[in-house]
A and B are shown apart, each in its own frame.
Chain A
């Protein structure tokens, strides 16, 4: 691994071991980025992905401030810069508001919202030094319209939307463009977890979710990675503080 070539942009993607984060890393690499990939731990998948895309694996729990500091130090030390941050890592566990273990409730906020707050804090000085950057926050349609038994997740994702709007205003004048994406139902590994929770098959789970989407389709991880690539790419230069909602019509611009 050598520092990015002059003119070659560097992206950091959190939660990249699987699903949407992995698809995003692959897409950004295909679009010409050198991609640093983070996840809470490296069970081999991060290293494999980094090898596949010529990127850099930077495992670490973003809920841990020291781990965040180390991660960004490694990315800067090895790649020289961070042009784009994709805040994708997320903890999620469903449970009724009054009975969910407070530790589980707050862990979701700690990772999804506070963790990314610290990641943003650590990369912004480098973006400022380079004269600009892009920050793409992966929020959720549930952060826009809510969902039963998902109060912590929805709160954390709604917090990310507010963060995108605030940072858009605060950092926009410095050329750092922050936006959010709020997908609804994506066909990822998470569906297996949801299906197991309900004791139904994966196909039954897919069908149930399709019925909640006006267009009757689940997003692919590629669809959402495409939205990230748009916001991170040359076409996204007039977007700041916005919330893209490729939700199949679930939310229709309510954020």
Chain B
């Protein structure tokens, strides 16, 4: 482990960096002068684009070790990789659908944390930010596997934050409201005017609003420990 090069800008690692919230987050960190690394199944517009499946623990460890070796350090890790399925009755969620959702959203976050933590521990600093969902706070219908996985992420975040509280490493979550990304199908329930009219802000959240929240946590969030920040347009109050 080489000493961090303080003359170099900090490094943000983002999973799911090829699209949506992940892409917007990586872009914001880059605009603010950070170096960026993206992990996604597809190439991402980052300084180090690594194509890797977040469900593969060994591959994630290799990918993140490689990123750290090349960049010299990791300052912030953002776990944004995920996907969404809706309109499925609880009895119709197949075992494969359930397992896959848990593997990507919870497993991907676990694998990211496990691979990045040794690098943060080595330099005694840094932050991990997991993207959850407002659906995990208040529940939902016909997307039970997604809600369960995002809720599990919150439990992981709060407990890992407590476990690391005595260190300078911070772990927190961002739970956006329904966000205008490619994950929301054109005919998604969450895009319907009837639903949007129930929100105090009457609109979907924009990915840049989620990115701004992540950036705030990463740069001024030293007192947040196991918190959930909710840029959700009022979906859950």
User: Footprint of B on A, CB under 8 Å?
Assistant: 165, 168-169, 172-173, 177, 183, 214-217, 219, 223-224, 226-227, 230, 234-242, 244-249, 252-253
Contacts of A249 in B (CB 8 A): 161-162, 165, 225-226
Contacts of B166 in A (CB 8 A): 214-216
A234 CA / B221 CA spacing, docked (Å): 17
Contacts of A215 in B (CB 8 A): 165-166, 170, 223, 225
Size category of the binding interface on chain B:
35 or more
Stretch from B83-91, B99-107, B205-213 forming part of the interface with A? B205-213
Which of B177, B212, B226 has the most C-beta atoms of chain A within 10 angstroms of its own C-beta?
A: B226
Contacts of A240 in B (CB 8 A): 200-201, 233-234, 237
Contacts of A239 in B (CB 8 A): 213, 229-232
Contacts of A223 in B (CB 8 A): 220, 222-223
User: Footprint of A on B, CB under 8 Å?
Assistant: 158, 161-162, 165-166, 170, 176-177, 200-202, 205-206, 209-210, 212-213, 215-216, 220-234, 237
- Kindly identify which residue among A169, A214, A216, A224 contacts B234, using a CB–CB cutoff of 8 Å: A169
A143 CA / B229 CA spacing, docked (Å): 18
In contact, B158 and A169 (Cβ under 8 angstroms): no
A87 CB to closest chain B CB (Å) equals 18
In contact, B213 and A214 (Cβ under 8 angstroms): no
A109 CA / B233 CA spacing, docked (Å): 30
In contact, B223 and A238 (Cβ under 8 angstroms): no
* Given A234-B212, A240-B237, A246 contacting B230 (CB threshold 8 A): no
In contact, B232 and A165 (Cβ under 8 angstroms): no
7 residue pairs of the A-B complex, CB under 8 angstroms, read A172-B201, A214-B225, A238-B209, A238-B210, A249-B165, A252-B162, A252-B225
- Kindly identify which residue among A168, A219, A245 contacts B237, using a CB–CB cutoff of 8 Å: A168
* Given A244-B229, A252-B161, A173 contacting B202 (CB threshold 8 A): yes
A169 CB to closest chain B CB (Å) equals 5
Contacts of A214 in B (CB 8 A): 162, 165-166, 225-226
A217 CA / B206 CA spacing, docked (Å): 34
Beyond the given A224-B223, A248-B165, could you list 19 further A-B residue pairs with CB under 8 A, ordered by the A residue number?
Answer: A173-B200, A215-B165, A223-B220, A223-B223, A235-B213, A235-B216, A238-B232, A239-B213, A239-B231, A240-B200, A241-B234, A241-B237, A242-B232, A246-B221, A246-B223, A246-B227, A249-B225, A252-B158, A252-B226
List the B residue with the shortest CB-CB distance to A230: B216
In contact, B225 and A248 (Cβ under 8 angstroms): yes
* Given A215-B165, A252-B227, A169 contacting B200 (CB threshold 8 A): yes
Contacts of B215 in A (CB 8 A): 235
Contacts of B227 in A (CB 8 A): 244-246, 252-253
In contact, A237 and B220 (Cβ under 8 angstroms): no
Which of A165, A219, A224, A253 has the most C-beta atoms of chain B within 10 angstroms of its own C-beta?
A: A253
A246 CA / B165 CA spacing, docked (Å): 13
Contacts of A227 in B (CB 8 A): 220
B226 CB to closest chain A CB (Å) equals 4
* Given A223-B220, A245-B224, A235 contacting B212 (CB threshold 8 A): yes
In contact, B225 and A238 (Cβ under 8 angstroms): no
In contact, A168 and B200 (Cβ under 8 angstroms): yes
A219 CB to closest chain B CB (Å) equals 5
